[in-house]
Amino acid sequence: MGPATMSESLIEESILSRPTYGTLKIVPGLAHYFLADASGAECVIRVVQELPRDMMEKVHILYVPTPGEAALITSLYALGAKRFEHFPTIEEAVAKLGDWLSDAKMGSQLYLAGTEGLVGQGVAKGEECGLDHTAVQCEHRGSLARRVQCVHCKTMIEDVTTQPVKCPSCDLLLLVRDHYSRRLAAFQGVCINAEDPSEEIEIKEVFK
Amino acid sequence: MSASDHLIPVVVSNVVEVNPIIKRFEFKHVNGDELPAFSGGAHIVVEMLDDGTKRKNPYSLMSSPFERDQYAISVRRDDTGRGGSKFMHEQVRPGMQMKISAPVNLFALDLRARKHLMIAGGIGITPFIAQMAQADKLGVPFELHYAARSVSQAAYMDSLADRFGDHVSCYCDDQGESVDLETLLSNQPLGTHVYVCGPKGMIERVVQTATSLGWPAAHVHFEHFLAPPVGEPFEVHLAKAGIDITVGAEQSLLEAVEASGTPINCMCRGGACGQCETVVVACDGEIMHNDHWLDEEQRAAKQRIMPCVSRFRGKRLELDL
């Protein structure tokens, strides 16, 4: 972990698979694509407002607001990007990112800011569209809630804050591992009491 | 141990004058065996026995990776060089027996690429001929941009345009044509990899343009074989062997070490692969670092040398060999 001043992220050092994140910084590029949720909006504003006016032609922003929130939409719109669109869900915004990137050229840069679920799905979409991982920057902000895949029934569980977590599909009690899949943009959830399913394990809120 | 320790005996099956400065040489195994498999971009080292001097020069394979009964290379004659290309042009004839190394690839296609963009300058065309055969068969999109000084010097330009059609764009300096790198590199779909082989200035322009447009370094590939430069003769002490050797004016340090019978690792023999990196035990003088391997800091430290292309001027050089 870098010094606290480098990033607002509270992620602790763990196994290699567990992603860590940096701080967004504009690098040379033909086009700059941004995807953020409400917790990451300020990161987008921070770097984009520093750009010279004539560079705004190269800036494309996708945003997932918190329901009912409008102030950040106004601030992001006011940046004057070539394209700015907002969507109610991460899934829709990531799908739109895929549409944009399918027409993008080499030299494009992708900037992701916000919760891990959004960042991880943005990374996976970038890779799917042929972006090199070095052309993708991530800044983590907000909740540490995890997107978890139940390795047994393959159900994706969003916004997991507890350890362990019960799979809503197969009812197994899952240990949320730090083992992370970049392809799925999800942490792996593995049955915690397979030897003795009657074993009682306390469920604690740990990913806040 | 190095690739050129296990040489393959071949017979020169054909020599073709492509144009006044370029000849193509084709090799078959002396027993008619299949030659080792390779991928587009690979090179072989050709051993030349020239009146007592043994030279080993790397050349890119231009034949199809799907044809293993023979290899083909093209050699551009350089009368100011050390004499390797001159030997190939003047001495090598069909039916002659020679030795070559197994292929080594330092310039392979990245098979994750969604498109291969190839940029060739002059004789730098050769690795791309093999790569295009490979990309064509794999069904991956590719595009070649081939620049040459003049129509008469543009080896294989017509045949490549015939064979690969729209995939090939040609540019001749004497027709006032040149590759517009800025436009070319600004219009490539995500997942494209660019490959460049040609003169140093061309490689630098491609790398610089791609970098300034925001291309990730992992998507930019280049190959620049250096011919070992000629220079003043110099003495070297080989510490482990306990001998002193002299490196001749037209000989490389690597060749002089090999001639003394002292073991040394090597692969590309052109300053690119890093295999021959050698520890300098003592240095009173100046090392002429000619390689693409050591960084600025390592060069300044004078504790490492790449014997395949680098030379020495001064009082004493002692190597850990």
CB-based contact B215 A107, cutoff 8 Å = yes
Answer yes or no: are the C-beta atoms of A34 and A111 closer than 8 Å. yes
Average pLDDT of the residues in B120-141: 96
Q: What is the largest CA-CA distance in chain B?
A: 60
Residue A8 has pLDDT above 60, yes or no: no
Distance CA(A130)–CA(A127), nearest Å, equals 5
Tell the burial category of A143 from Cβ atoms under 10 Å away from its Cβ (0-12, 13-18, 19+).
middle
Backbone phi and psi for residue B217, each to the nearest 5 degrees, phi listed first: -55, -35
* Cα angle for residues B145, A29, A61 (degrees, 5° grid): 130
Name chain B contacts of A132, Cβ cutoff 8 Å.
216, 218-219
Place of tokens 């292929």: B103
Rounded CA gap, B243 and A200, in Å?
76
Question: A144-194, pLDDT tens digit by residue?
Answer: 999 999 999 999 999 999 999 999 999 999 999 999 998 899 999 999 999
Q: What is the pTM of this model?
A: 0.86
Cβ separation of B214 and A129 shorter than 8 Å?
no
Output the pLDDT for position B241.
Answer: 96
Domains annotated for chain B, with CATH where assigned, are 3-105 (2.40.30.10), 115-223 (3.40.50.80), 234-319 (3.10.20.30)
Nearest CA in chain B to A103: B189
Compare all CA atoms of chain B with the CA of A105 and give the residue at the minimum distance: B189
Q: Using CB atoms and an 8 Å cut-off, which of residues 182-211 of chain B contact chain A?
A: 185-192, 194, 210-211
Can you say whether residue A90 is alpha, beta or left, with left for phi > 0 and alpha for psi between -120 and 50 degrees?
A: alpha
Q: B219 to chain A: which residues are within 8 Å by CB?
A: 106, 132
Cβ neighbours of B111 in A, within 8 Å: none
Most B-contacting residue of A106, A128, A129 (CB-CB within 10 A), to test interface: A106
Residue B64 C-alpha, separation from nearest chain A C-alpha, in angstroms: 28
Q: Which of A30, A101, A129 sits opposite B213 (nearest CB)?
A: A30
Contacting residues of B for A108, CB less than 8 Å apart: 190, 214
B278 touching A (Cβ < 8 Å): no
Instruction: Please list the residue range(s) of chain A that carry CATH number 3.40.50.80.
Output: 16-140
Contact B189 A130 (CB under 8 A): yes
Which helix (H) or strand (E) segment holds residue B127: the answer is helix B126-138
Report the chain A residue with the minimal C-alpha distance to residue B192.
A106
What's the pLDDT score for residue B2? 54
Q: Closest residue of B to A126, CA-based?
A: B190
Q: Which of B114, B186, B191 sits opposite A107 (nearest CB)?
A: B186
Pick the CATH number of A16-140 from 3.40.640.10, 1.10.760.10, 3.20.20.70, 3.40.50.80: 3.40.50.80
> B218, B169, B228, B219: which is closest to B192 by C-alpha?
B219
How far are the Cα atoms of B54, B249, B300 from residue B23, in angstroms, in the given order? 21, 26, 40
Residue B216 at interface with chain A, using a CB cutoff of 8 Å? yes
CB atoms near residue A41 (< 10 Å): 25
Q: What is the pLDDT of residues B22-65, one digit of tens each?
A: 999 999 999 999 999 999 999 999 999 988 888 889 999 999 99
Q: A105–B187: do the CB atoms touch at under 8 Å?
A: yes
Shortest distance between the Cα of A133 and any Cα of chain B, in A, equals 9
- ipTM, 2 decimals? 0.82
Contact state of B214 with A135 under an 8 Å Cβ cutoff: yes
- Quote the minimal CA–CA distance from A167 to chain B in Å: 35
Residues of B in contact with A98 (CB under 8 A): none
Position B237 pLDDT exceeds 80 = yes
| Residue B229 confidence (pLDDT) | 85
CA–CA distance, A69 with B146 (Å, rounded to integer): 55
pLDDT in tens, B248-290: 998 999 999 999 999 999 988 988 889 999 999 999 999 999 9
Residue B298 has what pLDDT?
95
Which residues in chain A touch residue B218, judged by CB atoms under 8 angstroms apart? 132, 134
Q: What is the pLDDT of residues A105-128, one digit of tens each?
A: 999 999 999 999 999 999 999 999
Determine the distance in angstroms separating the CA of B133 from the nearest CA of chain A, rounded to an integer: 24
Chain A residue set in contact with B, beta carbons under 8 Å: 27-30, 101, 104-109, 129-132, 134-135
